[in-house]
Amino acid sequence: MDKGKALSIVLEAIKEINSEDGAVGANVEAETALVGTDAVLDSMALVQLCLVLEDRASDIGFDFDWTSDAAMSKSKGMYGSVEALADEFYSQYSDGNS
């Protein structure tokens, strides 16, 4: 997996969650905010996104840990944008597969 694939995985997961919540049509891009006033997901949907990413990571063969102390310490940056979350997803993949 490369960073582009990680971004695709996160974007697909967000679109899946948005369609389940009835928010179909939300324009989600790499720069889209995940937290703050311009966020496309509410807090429950953000948790749901992380659970979906855990499942996708498991399918790929690694553990995506968004609940550890290390993840929580960088959570503001990690959830700042779709791209930042994808970067963290890729980083954890790389750490587990190096």
Tokens, residue 79: 């959830």
C-alpha 14, offset from chain centre: 8
pLDDT for the residue numbered 26: 59
Digits of tens for pLDDT over the chain (98 positions)? 999 999 999 999 998 888 766 554 457 899 998 888 888 888 899 999 999 999 999 999 999 998 877 776 666 678 889 999 999 999 999 987 76
Exposed, middle or buried, 9 (CB in 10 Å: 0-12/13-18/19+)?
buried
Contact 70, 17 (CB under 8 A): no
When the candidates are 1.10.1200.10, 3.20.20.70, 3.30.300.100, 1.10.3720.10, the CATH number that belongs to 3-96 is 1.10.1200.10
Residues across the chain: 98
CB atoms within 10 A of CB 74: 12
pLDDT for the residue numbered 51: 96
pLDDT for the residue numbered 24: 46
Tokens, residue 71: 């993840």
